[in-house]
Chains A and B, each alone.
Chain A
Amino acid sequence: MDEKYDVIVLGTGLTECILSGLLSVDGKKVLHMDRNDYYGGDSASLNLTQLYRKFRPNEEVPTKLGKDRDYNIDLIPKFIIASGELTKMLVHTEVTRYLEFKQIAGSFVYRDGRISKVPSTEMEAVKSPLMGLFEKRRAKKFFEFLQNWKEDDPATHQGLDLDVDSMKTVYEKFGLEPGTQDFIGHAMALYLDDDYITKPARPSYDRIVLYTSSMTRYGKSPYIYPLYGLGELPQSFARLSAIYGGTYMLDKPIDEIITDDNGKFVGVRSGNETVRADKVIGDPSYFGAGKDSDSGKVRVIEEGKVIRAICFLNHTIPGTDDSDSCQIIIPQNQVGRRNDIYIAMVSSTHNVCAKDVYVAIVSTIVETKNPEAEIEPGLKLLGPVFDKFVSVSPLYIPTSTGEADNIFITRSYDATSHFETVVDEVNNVWKRVTGHELELKPRKEEDQARIGE
């Protein structure tokens, strides 16, 4: 540990592992450490032993659940949008060679007390119980408008300016009902609340286009998922980093962040060992999150809380056509909340649990003093739950950008149902650390050929 590094990375969550991988590829000398003896930090997938150690340290793992190694239980529920930014990152860095993906079978939305499939084809749209006959015609016009929109052809704009007019104006122009707006804004544009409605329509347009192009890419749903759980993602980027010279140390307690008289980063101490570097990047848990800061400096603050309930079922979720995996969005308006409730379900098809076990995670942003009651509408949709692990996690954000003291702290994983904000965070931290934008340069034709041939 006597060597000096360019960057020390603390925590092996996905954000940190992507940054570590990209920095190593960029030629930086990286030391990557984690206090846990497993990869992934908050974005790990745990086997049963690890899951029990975390949630029920005094209990034995029940044998009825099957083999320990069959389980890879995500701590944070997210799916990958097929045409989204994380997919581009995976392909660009070629970590796809370490991963295998499967589709998520279906995407559902809750409306008026029941769940319906978000249509993935025109046929499904025509049959969908989400809208009445006349509403379907109006929705068709709305989607045709989006599909035909050409930036440089005002005739396709139908008098709307996406950069000026609000989404409310757009919805009103096509006469869409509030229930349809819920389904478009929350199940397709994937907004967690209704703040978007009064803002310019451009980001909503982009999000709906991303959803629909992802939907058509593989067919059943716009989402894909890595076999063996989301914890494979940080592992794959850690491997990328190692291949480009990054040094990995797990099971390494970090006892102190050392700074000089001006508060600038010097190094980190683990036990009696001190290792120096120019810069440090790390998740909030390494910088005083959740406890009093040792140096008296407050480096991270709490922005809110997310409740997540990991539920083990021995059946598929009722009303999902026996889907082996799915997403269900409960738009906030439908249950009188400010934030959506989100359900993500995966199963043995994705090698995350034993056969005939289904793992559903119900989550939402906490609004009251009784968060467990808040996810009740989601839990009700699951049917009988035979085991449940509930956690309430604070969301931390750094108090400074890090440029002044070379201490770059990442944000906690948010309540969104996908990874787009994780990639935003990678771009953001990359710029703070290196001083320039992260560029994923277009790759040559031959590089795009399938890897492993």
Chain B
Amino acid sequence: MSKQFQFKLVLLGESAVGKSSLVLRFVRDQFDDYRESTIGAAFLTQTVTLDDSTTVKFEIWDTAGQERYKSLAPMYYRNANCAVVVYDITQSTSLDKARSWVRELQRQADPSIVIALCGNKTDLNARRQVSQEEAKKYADEEGLMWGETSAKSGEGVSDIFTAIAKKLPLSTPQSRPGASRASAPGTQGGVDLNRRLGATEQSDACNC
């Protein structure tokens, strides 16, 4: 029997490290050299197949630029199952920022959150400022997953998301508090506004 698990994944990291590009590569296998700061990044999902019977669907939340002035809403961290904290390997300050985002996650997010540290822009290896050893050492100290990617070439992108999918607890998806709402609408007294509105609007009768 095939099973699909759904998880909320949030992206964090300094502006311009390539958070949106990473997601666009992962979800649409696209890259745009001149991407502006995040505008119109919709609600993206992508499914990773782990084996014949198991798929993991990521519901991906981009910061929508709200990280720029430290104005991310609590809603962003709420029920996040996993986070990808991105830094730019050509900017050593971006790793410092990544560290502060990891601290923020440890403070705000669910303690069971899976965090992956991701060094992006390996296509610019010639300008590298952050060594693999330094990043890996920090990740190990904090118990984070770690990987390097190039959203531009695609290198390492699917690897890091697949690694996260494997690390997520797939035992009891529905009962986990973080398990996504979209997977089980209407359960536990929840209400689905979308479906029911369509239904009531068609019959305008007053059901007194």
Contacts and interface: CB of A to CB of B under 8 A. Distances in A.
Interface of A: 38-39, 69, 82-83, 87-88, 90-91, 96-98, 100-103, 143-144, 146-147, 149, 208-209, 212-213, 215-218, 224, 228, 232, 235-236, 238-239, 242-245, 247-252, 349, 448-453
B66 A83 contact: no
A98 B196 contact: no
Given A213-B200, A243-B41, A453 B66 contact: no
B42 A450 contact: no
B191 A101 contact: yes
B193 A235 contact: no
Nearest to A101: B191
What 4 pairs between A and B have smallest CB-CB spacing? A452-B182, A242-B64, A147-B208, A248-B71
B71 A102 contact: no
B126 interface: no
A250 B70 contact: yes
B57 to A, nearest CB: 9
B41 A209 contact: no
Contact of B194 (A39, A91, A100, A213): A91
A250 B59 CA distance: 26
A450 B195 contact: yes
Contacts of A212: 206-208
B1 interface: no
B158 to A, nearest CB: 22
Contact of A349 (B59, B189, B196): B189
Contacts, number: 120
B196 A451 contact: no
Contacts of B191: 82, 101-103, 218, 224
Interface residues of B, number: 41
A208 B206 CA distance: 9
A239 B75 CA distance: 9
A26 to B, nearest CB: 13
Output the residue of B39, B193, B200 with the most chain A CB within 10 A. Answer: B193
Nearest to B110: A69
B191 to A, nearest CB: 5
A209 B71 CA distance: 41
B97 interface: no
A21 B73 CA distance: 15
B185 interface: yes
8 contacts: A82-B191, A97-B43, A102-B191, A213-B206, A235-B75, A243-B39, A244-B39, A252-B69
A39 B41 CA distance: 21
Contacts of B73: 39, 235, 238-239
A45 to B, nearest CB: 9
B45 interface: yes
Contacts of A83: 197, 200
Given A213-B207, A218-B196, A243-B41, A235 B69 contact: no
B64 A239 contact: yes
A450 B75 CA distance: 20
Contacts of B38: 243
B64 to A, nearest CB: 4
Contacts of B43: 97, 451-452
A283 B96 CA distance: 37
Given A87-B197, A97-B182, A243-B42, 18 more contacts: A82-B191, A90-B193, A96-B193, A100-B190, A101-B191, A143-B208, A209-B208, A212-B207, A213-B206, A215-B207, A217-B200, A224-B191, A239-B75, A242-B65, A247-B69, A248-B71, A250-B70, A252-B69
A453 B39 CA distance: 22
A448 B193 contact: no
A33 to B, nearest CB: 9
Interface string B35-59: 0001111110100000000000001
Contacts of B176: none
A140 to B, nearest CB: 10
A235 B200 CA distance: 27
A39 B78 CA distance: 14
Contacts of B198: 448
Nearest to B204: A213
A100 B181 contact: yes
Interface string B11-53: 0000000000000000000000000001111110100000000
B104 interface: no
Contacts of A248: 65-66, 68-69, 71
A420 to B, nearest CB: 16
